[in-house]
Amino acid sequence: MPDVGEGLTEAEILKWYVQPGDTVTDGQVVCEVETAKAAVELPIPFDGLVHELRFPEGTTVDVGEVIISVNTGGAAPAPAEAEAEAEAEAEAEAEAEEPKKRQPVLVGYGVAETSGKRRPRKAAPAKSVGTAGSGGPAATARAAAEAIRDTSAAVQEAAVQEAVVREAATREPSAGAGLNGRTGTPSARPLAKPPVRKLAKDLGVDLASVTPTGPDGIITREDIHAAVAEPAATEPVSPAPEAPATPAAAAPPVAAGVRETRVPVKGVRKATAAAMVGSAFTAPHVTEFVTVDVTRTMKLVEELRTDPDLAGLRVNPLLLIARALLVAIRRNPGINASWDEANQEIVQKHYVNLGIAAATPRGLIVPNIKDAHELTLPGLARALGELVGTAREGKTTPAAMQGGTVTITNVGVFGIDTGTPILNPGEAGILAVGAIRLQPWVHKGKVKPRQVTTLALSFDHRLVDGELGSRVLADVAAVLENPRKLITWS
């Protein structure tokens, strides 16, 4: 079990994609595991045949435990040949203490004379071998066994040599000008563990362009993050109220007469619970509310859905709410910060990684859109669509949940008017969006039916005072009430 995330000590095996006897290739995904941060697919760094799965699905395994063994010695021999090899191996072991005329190629294999104690079964070519000799059935059997051993030894030696070359190219540090110690040819594969390769793939980083800092020239996670110049957060899981990226999984049926059911808390849910407690009792939360008429925003959403520039993209109220929050952050950058307890400093962020809380069958996750402040409206719509689609498939990676600076949680999809969201650890603000309902509203001096919603902003009172928090919430409300401010305030 590799270390699939910083600080993680265990992971649960969710699903095996291979079974004993299956052929696997380097980089092939063999299982899916769930950590305290996310569900992650694990690739295998070998070519060969799956020999054994050490743990069944649903088992929680410590990092460093062996979970799968792979035979890298080549393809499995045919049944008749395998049986003959087993007989020949047993015979060779029985004669291990007797003098041998020739040195065996591998332990347990070779061309030593047989003692006649065990007669191997004849394989397909054994008949032709026996007819050429003179000595009857015993001589025929010995000749067949010796021929099979010679062939097996040659095959095994070639397979072992190939495996050694592969291991040297993959694991051993290169010497001098990057030559592997077996063949003297340049190694084209950068050295990195499977989780690091997966992280590089998720972030779009070419391993060949990364400068390794690990022992023996191995590329580490820190090297990947340095290559993309992306700050990493230590707590990517948010305890904020959920917005449903996917419907919650149906509860399993309960047998008649059962009064209680105990569900183990692990993985993402366990980390969420810990983060919720840590955030609630570390950062002094303040929550402010505002009810706003969003009729114009809803009309703009309908117009944008027919805009050719947004064709094929998902356009919904959340898109304009996200844009309104980004405008408010640009006007009030103090909300986009974090508290450094160790150094007693406020860390002001000059970028916005916009988190979107999402409910999945495995629990709450908060992936974020990197550098959302730099995106156009079509770019933001595309990023939101990809984020939701990935969460629905359960493929959100730990990298996608790192480095968030501010979060939106949409409780309105549950029909909820408002809430008091808990801050995502390391962030100073989280905006909850309530249900948009048709309500009586005073508009231009008359009571009319209007589209109305309630916004709630929770903030860390150590960094954000009441004035700053109020200005941020008021700006978001102003944009949603009059979307033309997206232009005048940009």
Per-residue pLDDT of the chain (490 residues; tens, 9 = 90+): 887 665 567 888 888 999 998 999 888 889 988 876 677 888 888 888 998 999 998 888 888 889 999 998 754 444 444 455 555 555 555 555 444 444 444 444 444 444 444 555 544 444 444 433 444 444 444 544 454 444 444 444 444 444 444 444 444 443 333 333 333 444 456 787 777 777 777 667 777 778 888 777 888 877 777 776 443 333 333 334 444 444 444 556 777 778 788 777 776 667 667 776 777 778 889 999 999 999 999 999 999 999 999 999 999 999 999 999 999 999 999 999 999 988 889 999 999 999 999 887 777 789 999 999 999 999 999 999 999 888 878 788 888 888 999 999 999 999 999 999 999 888 999 999 999 999 999 999 999 999 999 999 999 999 999 999 999 999 999 999 999 999 999 7
Residue 334: name the closest of 322, 344, 355, 348 by CA: 348
Residues 6+ apart with CB under 8 A from 145: 84, 87, 88, 91, 114, 120
pLDDT of 279:
77
Q: Is the dihedral of CA 52, 57, 58, 60 positive or negative?
A: positive
350 an active-site residue? no
Determine contact, residues 275/458, Cβ cutoff 8 Å: no
pLDDT of 36:
66
Residue 117: name the closest of 87, 146, 154, 76 by CA: 87
CATH among 3.40.50.10070, 3.30.559.10, 3.20.20.70, 3.30.56.10 for 268-488: 3.30.559.10
Query: Rounded CA gap, 38 and 198, in Å?
Result: 13
> How many beta carbons lie within 10 A of that of residue 136, not counting itself?
9
Determine contact, residues 100/112, Cβ cutoff 8 Å: yes
> Per-residue b/e over 204-232, b at no fewer than 16 CB within 10 Å?
ebebeebebeeeebbbbbebbbebeebee
pLDDT of 384:
93
Query: Rounded CA gap, 67 and 209, in Å?
Result: 31
Determine contact, residues 4/33, Cβ cutoff 8 Å: yes
> How many beta carbons lie within 10 A of that of residue 14, not counting itself?
17
H or E element that contains 358: strand 358-360
For 36-75, list the strands marked E by DSSP. Answer: 39-43, 48-53, 60-62, 68-71
Domain locations in the chain as residue ranges:
79-163, 191-229, 268-488
Nearest 5°: the CA angle 6, 12, 13 is: 120
Query: Rounded CA gap, 278 and 339, in Å?
Result: 14
- Written as six digits, the tokens of 281 are 């009792």
Return the half-sphere exposure (C-beta side, CA atoms, 13 A cut-off) of residue 307: 15
Q: Which of 285, 350, 443, 461 is catalytic?
A: 461
Number of H-type helices and E-type strands within the chain: 11, 18
- Tallying the residues shown for the chain, one arrives at 490
- Written as six digits, the tokens of 166 are 């592969």
CATH 3.30.200.20 for the 191-229 domain, yes or no: no
Residues 6+ apart with CB under 8 A from 20: 50, 51, 52, 53
Return the half-sphere exposure (C-beta side, CA atoms, 13 A cut-off) of residue 295: 11
